[in-house]
Amino acid sequence: MSAPTKVILLAMLALFSCAATAADVLRIYNWNNYIAPETLERFETECKCRVSYDTYGSNEELLAKIAAGATGYDLLVPTGNAVESLIKQHALLPLDKRKLPNLGNIGAAYLDRFFDPGNVYSVPYAYTVTLIGYNEQKLHQLGIPTNTWAAIFEPRYLRKLKGRVTVLDDPRELMAAALLYLGYSVNDPNETHWREAAGVIMRAKKYWAAFNNTSYIRLIAAGDIWLAQGYSNDFFQAGLEARKAGKNFTIGSVIPEQGAVLSLDSMVIPRHAPRPDLAYRFVNFMLAGSNSAELTNLIGSGNPNVAALPYIKPAIAATAAIFPDRQTLARLEQLRDLTRRQRQLLNRLWTEIKLY
Amino acid sequence: MRRLLVWPPQAYLIAFFLVPTLIMVASSFAWPGEEGGLSSFWVRDAQGIHFDLTFDNYRDIFTSRLFLVLFARSLGYAGLTTASCLLAAYPLALVIARSAGKYRNLLLLMVIVPFWTNFLIRIYALMIILGPQAALARILNALLDWVGLTPVSLLFSPFAVLVGMVYIYLPFMVLPLYANLEKHDPDLLDAARDLGAGSWQRFWRITFPLSLPGVMAGSALVFIPALGAFAVPDILGGTRGIMIGNVIKMQFLEARDWPFGSALSIMLTLLALVVTGLAAWLARRKVGAGV
C-alpha cells in the first residue's frame, strides 16, 4: 500500500471513530491554556464522555465567532463584559441551580456581579488582575516606584526605561489603566475623560517598546523588557521562566495604588447547546475545590472558589497580586460592556493612538 | 460541449470571488448590529418594507485624515516591501535560472523549504534574532557606540516590520521571476554579445525588458498581500507600526463594527486594483517603448 493511500485510510478511520462516539461529546470553547490536562482527563473518565476543546485568545474573538453564527458549543468561559453582551443577545441558557450543588463553593465577593445579577446565566470560573509586572532589580536600581500606574505613564520615569516597557495591545485595558492613573473609574462614561486618558497614552507611548499581549511573558523573563502592563497569571509564569533559566533577576508584580481591572471569567451554557446535560455536569465538576485548584496551580490564575484554597500551592496562595486581600479587592473594578457609540469612539481614539 | 467545459472555472470564480465581494459591498452600506454583526438590510413599518442603508462608513473614511494617513502608510510599507523583494529576488532568480539543470531544483527547493515552517514560528524566530540581546543588535549597537551614536532598537520598529514582510513574501517574487527568466532564449544574449553589447547593455536591453511580465507578476503577488498585512506589524511593529489590515481586523473584533470593516476592506481592494492596474499600464508602455 502506498503512503498516500495509507494516510487517506487512516483519516477515514479517524472520521468514523469520531462518528461512533459523537453521541457523548461535550464541546467546550475556552481560553488558551485555561484548564489543566489532568482535570479534563478526570472529567472524561467520570462522565464517560469525550471533551472536544476549542480555544480563543480574546473575548472579542469569542463574540465575533458567536455573532458570525457559530453554534454547537456546550460551554463558554467569557469575561464579565462579554457575558453581559451575550446576555443582551439572548444567547445564553438560564441555569437550573438544582443541577449545581457545588455552587455554594464560590466566594460571596464573586457572586451576583453587575454583568449577571443573581447569577442567572453564569458561574465564576477563575480571574486575573491587570497590573504592573517588573524586573525587580532593574527598577530598584533606577529608583522607579512600582506601586503606581505612574511608572507606565510618567515621562520622567519612562525616560530611564525607554524601549524597555510594553503595554497591553487592548484598547479597553490600556484606557482603563490611563483612566485609573487620572483618578477616574475604569467604567467612566465621560467622553472628555476618555480623551484625557488618550492624551496620557499618546504622551507616554514614544517611550514604550510595543503594544503586546502575548510575548511580554517571554520578553520580561529574558530581560529584554523591564516593565510591562499585563495579567497577574502571566507575570507568575514569567517569574517561573526567569527562575528556570537561572537569570540573575526576579519578576515582581503589584496591584497599583490607584486600583486595577479584575477580569472574572465565568462558565456559561449557550441557549442552543446540543448537550446542556454534559455542560451542567462539567460546571458542577469544576466547582469542586480540588478540580478548580488545579488550574490555579498550573497557570497562577486567581480562584473565586473558597473550597479550592486548601489545594492551592502555598506560594501561589500567598502572592498578593493573585489573591488580593479584602482591602485591595475593594480597589479592583470589572470592565463593563460598552455601547455601540462608546465602542465607535474608543475605536477612533485607539486608531489614532496606534497610528501616530 | 465547450460551454460545459468552461463552467467549472466560472463557478469557482462566482462562488469564491464574486459572491464574497458582493456580500462585502452590501454589508459596507449596512448599519452595525448592536452587539456585532449586521443590522437588518430593511425595515418593515406602516408604509411597507424599505431599505435601511447608509453611506456613513464611506463618509467617515473620506472625511477623516486618520484613514488617509493610514492608507498612505500601508501603501508605503507595501511599496517598500515590493521594491526590497524585487531587489533581493532578481539576482537570486537569475542565478537559479542560469545554473546547471541539476542544481536548479535544489536551489528552488531551498527557496521553498522555509515556506513549510509555520508563518508564526518564522515571525517569532525573527523576534529573537532582532531582539536587544541577540548578536545582531549587540554588534550594531557596539559599532554605533564606537562612532559615538546612540544605540537603536531593531525589534519593534518599522525596520523590523519591513524585514518580516520581505522575509515572508520573498518566495512570491522569486518563483514568478524564475519562471520567466528560465524561458529566455540564451541565443539572444549570444547574438547581442556578437554585435558588441557589454554585459550591462545585454541585461538592461534584453534580459530586463523580457522579464517585465515576471517582474509584474511577482510584484503583484507581493504588493497585494503586503498591503493588507496585519500579523507582521502586530508582532514586530512598535508603537507606531499599524497598517490598514490591523484596523480592519479591529473592526471585526474590539469595535464590533462589521460594516465599517467591510467599507475599509472595499477601499483596500480598490486601492490594490488601482495601483496594480497603473503599474501594469506603465510596464506595458515601457515594453512598447523599449522594443
Q: State the pLDDT at residue A19.
A: 45
Determine contact: B265 vs chain A, CB below 8 A.
no
For A89, the closest of B35, B127, B155 (CB atoms) is B35
Are A194 and A290 in the same domain?
A: no
With respect to residue A6, please indicate whether it lies within any of the assigned structural domains.
Answer: no
Q: For residues A304 and B140, give the distance between their C-alpha atoms in angstroms, rounded to a whole number.
A: 49
In a shared domain, residues A304 and A207: no
Residue A213 DSSP label = S
Q: Is residue A97 part of a domain?
A: yes
- Between the alpha carbon of residue B24 and those of residues A124, B21, B43, B81, B110, the distances in Å are 38, 5, 20, 27, 39
Strand A260-268 and strand A332-333: the pairing is: parallel
Chain A positions touching B240 (Cβ under 8 A) are 354-356
Say which residue, A242 or B8, is predicted with more confidence: A242
Report the CATH number that the domain containing residue A69 is assigned in CATH: 3.40.190.10
Rounded distance between C-alpha atoms, residue B233 and residue B251, angstroms: 17
3-state SS assignment for residue B150: coil
A119 with A186, same domain: the answer is no
Residue A280 · residue A291 · CB < 8 Å: no
How many domains would you assign to chain A?
Answer: 2
Q: What's the ipTM?
A: 0.87
Confidence (pLDDT) at B271: 93
Chain B positions in Cβ-Cβ contact with residue A344 (cut-off 8 Å): 255, 257
**pLDDT at res. B95:** 95
In a domain, A116, yes or no: yes
pLDDT for the residue B1: 57
The whole-angstrom separation of Cα A5 and Cα A11 is: 10
Size of interface A-B (CB pairs under 8 A): 94
Q: Does B73 touch chain A (CB under 8 A)?
A: yes
Q: Verify that A255 and A185 share a domain, yes or no.
A: yes
B248 touches chain A (CB under 8 A): no
Q: Is B168 on the interface with A (CB under 8 A)?
A: no
Same domain, A207 and A345: yes
Structural domain count of chain B: 1
Domain membership of residue B196 (yes or no) is yes
The parent domain of residue A205 ranges over 130-261+336-355
Contacts of A348 in chain B (CB under 8 A): 64, 66
Q: Is residue B18 part of a domain?
A: no
Q: Is residue A71 part of a domain?
A: yes
Q: Determine the pLDDT at residue B3.
A: 65
CB–CB contact B242 A354 (8 Å): yes
The pLDDT, as a whole number, for residue B291 is 43
- In this structure, the strands spanning A165-167 and A227-231 are parallel
The angle subtended at Cα A182 by Cα A176 and Cα A185, nearest 5°, is: 50
Contact status of B261 with chain A (Cβ, < 8 Å): no
Q: What residues contact A40, with CB distance under 8 A and at least 6 apart?
A: A51, A53
Distance from CA of A236 to the nearest CA of B (A): 22
Interface of B with A in 15-44 (CB under 8 A): 32-37
Same domain, A36 and A148: no
Residue B199 lies in a domain: yes
Q: Are residues A248 and A304 in the same domain?
A: no
Tell me how far apart the alpha carbons of residues A198 and B96 are, in angstroms, rounded to a whole number.
52
Residue A3 in domain: no
Dist CA A97 CA A121 (whole Å):
10
pTM: 0.89
Please give, rounded to a whole number of angstroms, the shortest distance from the CA of B90 to a CA of chain A: 33
> Is A169's Cβ below 8 Å from some Cβ in B?
yes
> What local confidence, expressed as pLDDT, does residue A11 receive?
53
Do residues A206 and A302 both lie within one domain?
no
Q: Which of A163, A170, A354 sits opposite B153 (nearest CB)?
A: A163
Is residue A348 domain-resident? yes
Q: For position B109, which CATH number holds?
A: 1.10.3720.10
Closest residue in chain A to residue B68, using alpha carbons only: A355
Write the residue in A170, A206, A224 that is nearest to B131 by C-beta: A224
Going from the C-alpha of B92 to that of each of A39, A318, B175, B188, B235, the distances in angstroms are: 53, 59, 10, 21, 28
Subunit contact A340:B32, Cβ cutoff 8 A: yes
The tens place of each residue's pLDDT in chain A, 356 residues long, gives 455 555 455 555 454 444 444 579 999 999 989 999 999 999 999 999 999 999 999 999 999 998 888 889 999 999 999 999 999 999 999 999 999 999 999 999 999 999 999 999 999 999 999 999 999 999 999 999 999 999 999 999 999 999 999 999 999 999 999 999 999 999 999 999 999 999 999 999 999 999 999 899 999 999 999 999 999 999 999 999 999 999 999 999 999 999 999 999 999 999 999 999 999 999 999 999 999 999 999 999 999 999 999 999 999 999 999 999 999 999 999 999 999 999 999 999 999 999 98
CA distances from A271 to A54, A58, A73 (A): 18, 21, 10
What gap in Å lies between CA A271 and CA A276, rounded to an integer?
Answer: 9
Q: What is the pLDDT of residue A22?
A: 53
* B64 CB-near residues (< 8 Å, 6+ apart): A348
- Cβ–Cβ contact A171 with B under 8 A: yes
pLDDT tens profile B93-112: 999 999 988 899 999 999 99
pLDDT at A23: 75
Q: For residue A169, list chain B residues with Cβ-Cβ distance below 8 A.
A: 234
Q: Are residues A150 and A256 in the same domain?
A: yes
A40 & A89 share domain: yes
A351/B254 touch (CB, cutoff 8 Å), yes or no = no
Task: Decide if B100 contacts B184 (C-beta within 8 A).
Answer: no
Residue A14 maps to a domain: no
DSSP A44-70: HHHHT-EEEEEEESSHHHHHHHHHTT-
Under an 8 A CB cutoff, do A354 and B35 touch? no
Instruction: Assess whether A270 and A237 both reside in one domain.
Output: no
Evaluate whether residue A154 is within a structural domain.
yes
Q: Do A347 and B253 touch (CB under 8 A)?
A: no
d(CA B162, CA A83): 39
Residues in chain B, overall count: 291
Bridge partners for A305 per DSSP: A106
Angle at alpha carbon of residue B242, lines to B238 and B244, rounded to 5°? 170
Interfacial A residues in 14-33 facing B (CB < 8 Å): none
Helices (H) and strands (E) counted in chain A, each on its own, are: 16, 10
Checking if the pLDDT of B4 tops 80, the result is no
Residue B9 vs residues B22, B153, B273: alpha-carbon distances, Å? 18, 49, 21
What whole-number distance in Å separates Cα of residue B123 and Cα of residue B117?
10
Residue A348 contacts B where some CB pair is shorter than 8 Å: yes
Q: Residue A224 in 3-state DSSP?
A: coil
Q: Taking CB atoms and an 8 Å cutoff, what residues of chain A touch B66?
A: 348, 351-352, 355
Is residue B4, in this structure, part of any structural domain at all? Answer: no
**A348 and B254 Cβ atoms separated by less than 8 Å:** no
Q: Which domain holds residue B271?
A: 65-290
Mean pLDDT over B255-267 rounds to 95
Q: Reduced to 3 states, what is the DSSP secondary structure of residue B75?
A: helix
- Cα(A216)–Cα(A234) distance, integer angstroms: 9
Q: Which helix (H) or strand (E) holds A193?
A: helix A191-205
Instruction: Give the DSSP letter string of B41-62.
Output: SEEEETTEEEE---SHHHHHHH
| List of chain A residues whose C-beta atoms are within 8 Å of the C-beta of residue B247 | 351
d(CA A55, CA B4): 44
User: Given CB atoms, is A235 within the 8 Å cutoff of chain B?
Assistant: no
Instruction: Tell me, yes or no, if A170 comes closer than 8 A to chain B by beta carbon.
Output: yes
- Is position B19 within any domain? no
Q: Do A232 and A168 have their domain in common?
A: yes
